[in-house]
A = this chain, B = another copy of it.
């Protein structure tokens, strides 16, 4: 990573202020809309043994699991994504999973931290949605102020020995011309899911009812609009829940880790 330029320094200080408020407990809610322009990341924390295998899973499934950073075991800092980041304290709400079941939703991991825990920061669609909005494309769940609709598909991920399961996708409906433009724009952002995985007929990827998403909320699809499907960062959580490891930690949905990195820097060119 290059040293930050002036404009990036301003963005970074916004991110640092937000993380400070989260760490102090003065901000406890979702992070959408906070520190605009800054990358927000999905979080996955696993014991070393399973972490090695999850790293392999991410290598085999870069569209749902685009890695922004991976720590050493026990390391709570991620200097490449922000000097002051502490992954144990900087997310407003965590989810602790035991044997695949939700065990608790703490606002800090200081009491749970272990020397064998490896942290994965995974790209999030917030980054490419900002690029779509800047281009004048209507992102329906944002204009309707709901969560993006997400669906389990019949597309299998490329599994490892222990980690396997179906791809989860998010859907954004748009007119054809916008869909083409959205494909061009998101192709430039491979580290936040990249180009769509499908468009058009939802049944071809195993989605029975587009109005009944498996996660998030349904959105209005206007006459003549095409549903466009992107690989979704919920996939690794879904896989972990399927595989039921003894212990893992994720962020709570919508409660992301805000980094110092600008979304623009994630563009591949």
Per the bound structure, the CA–CA distance linking A187 and B269 in Å amounts to 6
Contact A59 B70 (CB under 8 A): yes
Contact B187 A72 (CB under 8 A): no
Cβ of A67 within 8 Å of any chain B Cβ, yes or no, is yes
Least CB distance from A209 to B in Å reads 26
Q: How many copies does the complex hold?
A: 2
Cβ of A55 within 8 Å of any chain B Cβ, yes or no, is yes
CB nearest neighbor in B for A72: B161
Contact B52 A59 (CB under 8 A): no
Residues on B with C-beta less than 8 A from A161 are: 72
Cβ of A268 within 8 Å of any chain B Cβ, yes or no, is yes
Contact B67 A269 (CB under 8 A): no
Per the bound structure, the CA–CA distance linking A190 and B191 in Å amounts to 11
Given contacts A55-B55, A56-B55, contact A195 B70 (CB under 8 A): no
Cβ of A146 within 8 Å of any chain B Cβ, yes or no, is no
Residue from B59, B80, B195 in contact with A269 in the complex, judged by beta carbons closer than 8 Å? B195
Cβ of A9 within 8 Å of any chain B Cβ, yes or no, is no
Contact B70 A269 (CB under 8 A): no
Per the bound structure, the CA–CA distance linking A59 and B66 in Å amounts to 10
Residues on B with C-beta less than 8 A from A184 are: 269
Residues on B with C-beta less than 8 A from A59 are: 55, 58-59, 67, 70
Can you list 22 A-B pairs with a CB-CB distance of less than 8 A?
A: A52-B52, A52-B55, A55-B55, A55-B59, A56-B70, A58-B59, A59-B59, A59-B67, A59-B70, A60-B70, A72-B160, A72-B161, A80-B158, A183-B269, A184-B269, A187-B268, A187-B269, A190-B190, A190-B268, A194-B268, A195-B269, A268-B268
